[in-house]
Every structure is written in C-alpha cells, then in structure tokens.
Structure 1
Amino acid sequence: MSDLNNTAQVMPLRVALIQTELVWQDAPANRQQLAARIAACAGAGLIVLPEMFTTGFSMQSDAIAEPEGDTLAWLIQQAALSGAALCGSVATRSGDDCVNRCYFVTPQGQVSRYDKKHLFRMAGEHQAYRAGTERVVVHYLGWRILLQVCYDLRFPVFSRSRNDYDIALYVANWPAARSHAWRTLLQARAIENQAFVLGCNRVGTDGNAVAYSGDSLIVDYLGQPVADVSRGEDSVLRAELDYVKLLQYRQQFPAMLDADAFILPAPEDC
C-alpha cells in the first residue's frame, strides 16, 4: 500500500474526456476537428480521445492503418500546445502487421504505447489486427495509469490491480446496443481494483451503420460516477481526481491485502 506521508508532490489531476462523433476513415478531418476540441479543454492535465479516433472502428486495416508518422506527430504537437497529456488509439502499422495502438503522449513529448490485447472477434478485429502482449502502466505527474482499449474491459484478470495503478483508462468505440454492459463493467473495474476509472466512448454512427451512444463515464474508487453526460451527446466530460482521498480510502478499507495471488501466463502458454 502507498504511504500517505509521501503524497505531497502528487497533485489532483484534472481530466477531460472528449465524447464526439468521428468522420469515417478520414484521419485529416478527425485530427482537424479534435484539435479544436482539445484547445477548448484548457486547464486539463489529461485529455482522453476515443478508440481509433482518426478513422472510427474500421476493419479495413490495410487501407487505414498508418505507420507512426502524421498522427503521432500531431499528438505530440497537441500535447505541447495544450500542456496536457493526450491518450487515444490509432490503427497503426507495426512491421508486417497492423495493431490497434493506444498512445499516451505527455506535454514534454514522451510517448508510451499499448497495443490492444483483446481483439473484438465478433467484428473480425482478430483477423485485421495483431493482438498486443504487454500490459502497460504509465507514470505521469505521480499518478500510475493503466492503458486499456474497449473490449479489454470484459477481461478483469488482465486489468486486475497488483497495487500498480491508480487510474484505469479505457478508450472505446462501444456500440449503443451494449451500453449497459459498458457502464456496469466500468464501475465494476473501479470497485474491484479500488481505483479511478475513465471510460471515453464515441457517439454517432460509423460507416458500418453501427450506432454509438457515448455513455462516457468517470468513476471513483467506490464505483460511483463522478462525471456523466446525456446519452448520444457530443460533449466533454470533466472531473478532478484526488490522489490523497484515493489513498485514504485504500488504507481505511485495504481489501487488496486479501486479494488472490496470480500470474498471467506467457503468450505461448495460452
């Protein structure tokens, strides 16, 4: 458990989740519209974008996946201009394969990468992209942030806290038809891991006529929503996360001390 005496340097973190419609498979158009949205998030320390924010959730990976170039450079530029870290996922070429890559970029230009592990087979994502293997926790302004993408939310063992994160961050294109599962699981992950959970989803309809209601949510370590928006609303969800209150709760209710020990198998053992 973390020591409350060593938290003076960890300030509250202001977060902003951009819940918006995406232009189907048009990276320049999406970067342009999101730049304006990011500029309006003044004061935030962390700004979160949806999954595949440059294209929408497209399985046409050969057509849309880009090498690390224009969008990563844009993220670095936007993080520097806004003074906030930016996070979101992009269809990205990696060697001979394509991955659904979540970037976390700081204002100083530091880049962390997480490739989505659980690929949504019901849409054929496992055939269009290569699954990641690494679990990634980013350290930012004293906070420890677990990076996750959409379908990862359904797999609690992979996101189980080992006392190694304070925020679980999910970027998504989660359809409206399963919005109840989305909201319920976000709250469950917060409760079972005694952590803040951020869930940033898109709205609108994609090129496959799949509808998205958003339902983006910021949940505290009790599983209680601290920021919410109306279904289908194009908006920015904001909250301030208090690190000291999180640690106080963990020390008052140290359920993690009774957690089951486990080791995730290596990919070749699965």
Structure 2
Amino acid sequence: MMQHLKIALLQAAIVWQNAVKNRKQFSNKINAINEDVDLIVLPEMFTTGFSMQPQEIAETMQGETVKWMQQLASEKQAAIVGTIIISENNKYYNRFLFVHPSGEINSYDKRHLFTLAGEDKIYTSGNDKLIVNYKGWKICPLICYDLRFPVWARNVEDYDIILYVANWPKPRIEAWDSLLKARAIENMSYSIGVNRVGIDANKLEYCGHSAVYDCLGGKLATVKLNKEEIIITTLDKKHITEVRNKLNFLNDKDSFEIL
C-alpha cells in the first residue's frame, strides 16, 4: 500500500464535439507533466464537451479514446480518468473510465442525469456505485450532477477519496465549492473535483475552480477561476487514518438502503 498518492488535476477548455483535437490537446498537457504522478484526472466529457448529441459523436469501449487512454496510462505509468460518451447495446452513457497503467479499466455510468439539460432523455442512468482499489487507496468516482446527492455519495464502503469530474457552469460555482467541501467533511475522505473552463456551443460558460479538500474540509489545492492549468497535489493516507481514529464520526452514521 502506498502511503502517499500524487494526483494531477487538468483544468482545461474543451473543443466542442471534436475528439481528435481534444485528445491532442490533452496529450500535450499530460506529456508536459515533468514529474512522476500516480493519477491524472480529466474533466467530464473531455473529448466532446457536455453534448446532448451522442448519436453523432459516441464511441465504444473499443474506440480510439479508450485506446488512447490505455496507451498514455502505460507510457506515464499513471492511472488516467475522465468521462466520455459511450454507445453500448443501443444506449448512450456518460461513462467514467478509470484506466490503470496495466490497461485494466473500471467504469461507472453517471447515475444522476442532468434533467435541466435533458440528459435523462438521451442517456441511460447507471445503477452501480464503483469503488476502485488503486495502489492501496479506495477511490469513489462520481460525475458532476452526482455532487448534489449526498445519499449516493455516502461513505458506506470506507473509501479514501471521492472524486468528481464535471462540466459545472459558472453561475452555480458557489454550489460546486460548497458541496465539494461538504462531501469531504461528511464522508471523512479526501474530496477532489475537476471542472472545465471555457464557453461551449450552447453559450454556457465554465470557470473551473477545480479543488482538493482533506477529510476535515481543509482546502489543499485549488485552480484559479477561468484558467487552464495543471495542479499537482499529494494525498497522505496518514491524515485519513489519524482523523478517523480520533473522531470516529463515520461509526455513528445512519443505516439506509437505496431503492
């Protein structure tokens, strides 16, 4: 088990519905990371932007972006994560891919589809929560709108990190900041959020504010508003162990069943 986990957060603009250009720009950004990291985090729908036109741009699990992620993960010897639009069994999914350096893939389909944009009319919701075991760390990946639903995020699996990738618009960025911090505190875990910047084809503006919080809600790192940037931060397992042993708040959590 690794005591420390070094994570790179890539806050970037996304070229609208152009996977080739987006893979190229993210390749350049990833290859510019000049230190060894364990995990590289890209935003939600990083090859397309938050598109409601999957019939034109969806890929498969055998497609170019999945192969690209596997190749880069192998070259960098780091896990690479983010969501892309996947077509499978005549359905479309906003799918989180956790690609290990070995090429192994864990996936999670977004449960809470964004009804305000009609995402629920076009994409199929996932029903299974995912906990990834990576280098001795338990990671719970979730996607954008999932952040508003604490029951789904509740730490009943004793995970160490809750990880959100997003296209979260600027007018509601205060909610993003507050909820990321809240998820860290209530789950006594590290909370990480990676959001995009720029303006998409629907004239929606995104300002980033990607951040990392420790399990007491202390901010470890944040990216400035409206700025493309890579930030690298190191998480310490000792922090989680000491805080949980001292406070034991998770032992007092309510029991429930999600139907």
TM-score (ref. length: structure 1): 0.94
Give yes or no for the alignment of 1:31 onto 2:23: yes
Q: CA RMSD in A?
A: 0.8
Report the alpha carbon displacement of residue 163 of structure 1 after superposing the two structures with TM.
4.0
* Whole-angstrom distance in 2 between the partners of 1:163 and 1:91: 27
* Whole-angstrom distance in 2 between the partners of 1:214 and 1:10: 29
* Whole-angstrom distance in 1 between the partners of 2:65 and 2:148: 28
The farther-off stretch of 48-57 and 38-47 is: 38-47
Q: Contact 2:81/2:99 (CA < 8 Å) preserved in 1?
A: yes
From 88, 96, 100, the equivalent of 1:102 is: 96
SS at structure 2 position matched to 1:55: coil
Give yes or no for the alignment of 1:64 onto 2:68: no
* Whole-angstrom distance in 2 between the partners of 1:197 and 1:40: 25
SS at structure 1 position matched to 2:153: coil
SS at structure 2 position matched to 1:31: helix
- Give CA deviations for 1:102-154 in whole Å, capped at 9, x if unaligned: 00011111100000000001001001110011000000000000010000000
- Equivalence map 1:1-270=2 (5 Å): 9-41=1-33, 42-68=35-61, 69-265=63-259
- Give CA deviations for 1:158-189 in whole Å, capped at 9, x if unaligned: 00001431000000000001000001000000
* Whole-angstrom distance in 1 between the partners of 2:177 and 2:78: 26
Q: Contact 2:44/2:143 (CA < 8 Å) preserved in 1?
A: yes
Aligned counterpart, 1:6: none
TM-score (ref. length: structure 2): 0.98
Q: Contact 1:80/1:107 (CA < 8 Å) preserved in 2?
A: yes
What amino acid does structure 2 have at the position aligned with 1:16? Answer: A
What amino acid does structure 2 have at the position aligned with 1:93? Answer: S
* Whole-angstrom distance in 1 between the partners of 2:230 and 2:214: 18
Q: Contact 2:46/2:83 (CA < 8 Å) preserved in 1?
A: yes
Structure 2, unpaired ranges of 5+: none
Q: Percent identity?
A: 44
SS at structure 2 position matched to 1:158: helix
Q: Contact 1:30/1:53 (CA < 8 Å) preserved in 2?
A: yes
Q: Deviation above 3 Å: which 4+ runs of structure 1? A: none
* Whole-angstrom distance in 1 between the partners of 2:134 and 2:217: 23
Aligned residues: 257
What amino acid does structure 1 have at the position aligned with 2:54? Answer: S
Report the alpha carbon displacement of residue 200 of structure 1 after superposing the two structures with TM.
0.3
Report the alpha carbon displacement of residue 11 of structure 1 after superposing the two structures with TM.
2.3
Q: Contact 2:208/2:227 (CA < 8 Å) preserved in 1?
A: yes
SS at structure 1 position matched to 2:225: coil
- Give CA deviations for 1:16-74 in whole Å, capped at 9, x if unaligned: 11000000000000000001111122311000000000000000111111112111101
Structure 1, unpaired ranges of 5+: 1-8, 266-270
